[in-house]
Amino acid sequence: MGKTDRELLNDRFKKIFQMLEDRGEIVRSDRSKGVSAFAEKILGSRKNGHLVNKYLDGKRNITYEQAKRFCDLYQVNETYMFQGKGEPFLEPDPYELANECATPPPAKTNSIVFSNISAFASSTIDVNVYEDSEHFHIPGMQGEHVAFNINGDSMSPTIANGDMVICRVLDSSEKIHENEIYAIVTNNSVFVKRVQKVYNTKKELTKLKLISDNYLEHDPFTVSLRDVRRLLKVERRLTGLGL
């Protein structure tokens, strides 16, 4: 007897889940990327991790509603998920690819702007001071970057007081990777924190949860996407500069 539609759907779910593991987007031993965290996103509660394991073992089948949520959160191709046609993941728009190919690579010199902004890892600061900025270059780093010094200990031990961070400016289409470190620029402040995405009941991304590595002394908090003016990915840390 052939498999039912739900069984075939579950087979495709297991295949894509394994692909996400291979890509590092799901890490079973990681609390923030493991099965319980996955269950919270797709099934609504970390306690439903046992159900995810049953789907993966083939003892139960994922529901259509859960599969739809899975597609939305992980950029899975719904046509593949529900019909088995096409590629598992959404392909980039051909027009965007053509534009990327036509765009010359950024200059390798003077690519980093050192700002006189001091980003407080444990508090907030005014960000409307970009005058008198200096430019410098680090081999291997290309594109638009911003560098500034850190004051505060909320990201210790990953980023210490006095370190310099070098951040890449994200474009509007770039995905936010959970639990990685970003500089979040709001209307009058900068935060350097790990980021988690917060969705509303309609599964729309509405807020960012900002988390300190020094979590024993600094509690997490959320900011609304409406208040975020710019998002920068922290890519390098320079320490021991005597700043």
pLDDT tens, residue by residue, 170-183? 776 678 889 999 99
Question: What whole-number percentage of the chain has pLDDT above 90?
Answer: 37
Residue 72 shares a structural domain with residue 125: no
Residue 226 shares a structural domain with residue 125: yes
Answer yes or no: is 102 within a domain: no
Answer yes or no: is 98 within a domain: no
In a 13 Å sphere around the CA of 30, the CA atoms on its Cβ side amount to: 10
Q: Which amino acid belongs to residue 158? A: T
Residue 72 shares a structural domain with residue 144: no
Q: What is the 3-state secondary structure (H, E, C) of 82-128?
A: HHCCCCCECCCCHHHHHHHHHCCCCCCCCCEEEEEEEEECCCCCCCC
Global pTM? Answer: 0.51
Phi, psi (deg, nearest 5) at residue 148: -155, 165
Residue 214 shares a structural domain with residue 150: yes
Instruction: Supply the pLDDT for residue 121.
Output: 42
pLDDT tens, residue by residue, 110-124? 467 777 554 434 444
- DSSP notation for 188-234: S-EEEEEEEEEE-TTS-EEEEEEE-SSTTTS--EEEEGGGEEEEEEE
Number of domains composing the chain: 2
Whether 105 shows a pLDDT value over 80: the answer reads no
At 242, the pLDDT band (50, 70, 90 cuts) reads very low
Answer yes or no: is 96 within a domain: no
Residue 121 shares a structural domain with residue 189: yes
Instruction: Supply the pLDDT for residue 40.
Output: 92
The residue range of the domain holding 43 is 5-91
Answer yes or no: is 104 within a domain: no
Residue 130 shares a structural domain with residue 19: no
Whether 98 shows a pLDDT value over 50: the answer reads no
Answer yes or no: is 174 within a domain: yes
Answer yes or no: is 29 within a domain: yes
* Contacts with 115 (C-beta within 8 Å, 6 or more apart), sequence order: 129, 130, 133, 146, 147, 148
pLDDT tens, residue by residue, 116-167? 554 434 444 444 444 445 677 777 777 778 888 888 899 999 999 888 888 8
In a 13 Å sphere around the CA of 118, the CA atoms on its Cβ side amount to: 10
Residue 153 shares a structural domain with residue 85: no
Answer yes or no: is 100 within a domain: no
At 89, the pLDDT band (50, 70, 90 cuts) reads confident
At 48, the pLDDT band (50, 70, 90 cuts) reads very high
Residue 124 shares a structural domain with residue 52: no
For residue 78, the domain's CATH number is 1.10.260
Instruction: Supply the pLDDT for residue 243.
Output: 38
Residue 163, number of CB atoms within 10 A of its CB: 21
Question: What whole-number percentage of the chain has pLDDT above 70?
Answer: 80
Instruction: Supply the pLDDT for residue 174.
Output: 77
Q: Which of 36, 56, 91 is the last residue of a domain?
A: 91
Residue 221 shares a structural domain with residue 156: yes
Q: Which H or E run includes 168?
A: strand 164-169
Residue 44 shares a structural domain with residue 147: no
Residue 150 shares a structural domain with residue 227: yes
Answer yes or no: is 103 within a domain: no
Instruction: Supply the pLDDT for residue 119.
Output: 42
| Mean pLDDT score across all residues of the chain | 81
pLDDT tens, residue by residue, 171-229? 766 788 899 999 998 877 889 999 999 999 988 889 999 999 998 899 999 999 888 88
